[in-house]
Amino acid sequence: MDATPFTELVGCRYPIQQAGFGGVATIELAGAVAAAGALGMLTLDTPGLDGWLVGGPRRGEGIAPIGVNFLVPAGIDLERVEQVAAVVPLVEFFWASPERSVVARVHEGGALACWQTGSVDEARAAADAGCDLVVAQGVEAGGHVRGTTPRDELVAAVVAAVDVPVIAAGGISTGRDIRAALDAGAAAVRIGTAFVVARESAAHERYVAALVAAGAGDTELTTAFGNGWPDAPHRVLRASVDAATRAADGVVASFDGPLGRFDVERFSPYPPTRWTTGNVDAMAQYAGAGVDAVHESAPAAAILERLVAEADATGHS
């Protein structure tokens, strides 16, 4: 795959970003993706993040790039932004309106700033706020979905509207998807579901099995898992909505892991992880519309290698 403005900015080999999906992204997964040539991503709730920020690899030549995603429905902790931006090459934000002051804090720390957007207006606002890159998230995306526009339509419109590199997101699970996005002017693609099933992911084995077994049409855009985060559309496997609807108890599962111990209420937005016990089928099993192309669990490097080979076989941009 050829170099793009994304690979030149971030310092990776392939124009591919692993989505920083909350709950199941791990340091091992992001590290494996980065070592294999793409951009790995962590989230603020990634187990071990604080220790990694203090004692892990620092930004600089020869370090495989790993960024951190801020999911910010309740606001942005600027001190946390500064801490992260001093270590990683890229800091990303989602589910908040772009703010110039926040982007400035990222730049002061020496990192690139990225904002995941769901509309042309929001992408313009991110670019105007000083972001170095913007993510154009189509409605096909798994997890929480910011906008209502199909990916290809949104990517084309955002590429035409902003002067910064655009990362295409939403249901991208094949090399053909990657090639189409790059040929449409995107500088990179963002991939989530295909990496949720990676061996290094913290996704529960039943969640992984459900993703591997899912076919086209098995996802649903809903607000069902809104307990604690209401009116926030998200794409999940339809079977998980059905299972939660049938569940009789208010508590469907329990979490006991690096982030502590707590009960998972029915219709909570938490995905099932390896530290979860109980009725994990009734938890939020996030999945993009391209889940039908996810056929097996494999090491992250093997998944990336397959996607790159498929994209190269499809043609050259």
| pLDDT, tens only, 208-261 | 999 999 999 999 999 999 999 999 999 999 999 999 999 988 999 999 998 889
Which tops the pLDDT comparison, 74 or 190? 190
State residue 220 phi and psi, 5-degree precision.
-145, 135
- What is the pLDDT at residue 18? 98
Over residues 287-305, the mean pLDDT reads 98
> How many whole angstroms separate alpha carbon 49 and alpha carbon 222?
30
pLDDT band at 315 (very low <50, low <70, confident <90, very high): confident
- In terms of phi and psi (left: phi > 0; alpha: psi -120 to 50; beta: otherwise), the region of 11 is left
- What is the pLDDT at residue 317? 45
> How many whole angstroms separate alpha carbon 75 and alpha carbon 24?
22
- What is the pLDDT at residue 128? 98
> How many whole angstroms separate alpha carbon 164 and alpha carbon 132?
6
CA 114 to chain centre: 12
- Using the predicted structure, report yes or no on whether residue 55 has a pLDDT greater than 90: no
- 82, 105 contact by CB (below 8 A): yes
pLDDT single digits (tens) 84-127 = 999 999 999 999 999 999 999 999 999 999 999 999 999 999 99
Look up the pTM and report it: 0.96
- What is the pLDDT at residue 64? 74
- What is the pLDDT at residue 224? 98
- Using the predicted structure, report yes or no on whether residue 59 has a pLDDT greater than 70: no
Output the average pLDDT for the chain. Answer: 94
Does an H or E element contain 128, and which?
helix 120-128
Q: Which domains does the chain have, with CATH numbers?
A: 5-199+292-314 (3.20.20.70), 205-291 (no CATH)
State residue 286 phi and psi, 5-degree precision.
-65, 140
- What is the pLDDT at residue 316? 57
Which tops the pLDDT comparison, 173 or 260? 173
- Using the predicted structure, report yes or no on whether residue 60 has a pLDDT greater than 70: no
- What is the pLDDT at residue 290? 97
Which tops the pLDDT comparison, 167 or 64? 167
**What SS3 class is residue 242?**
helix
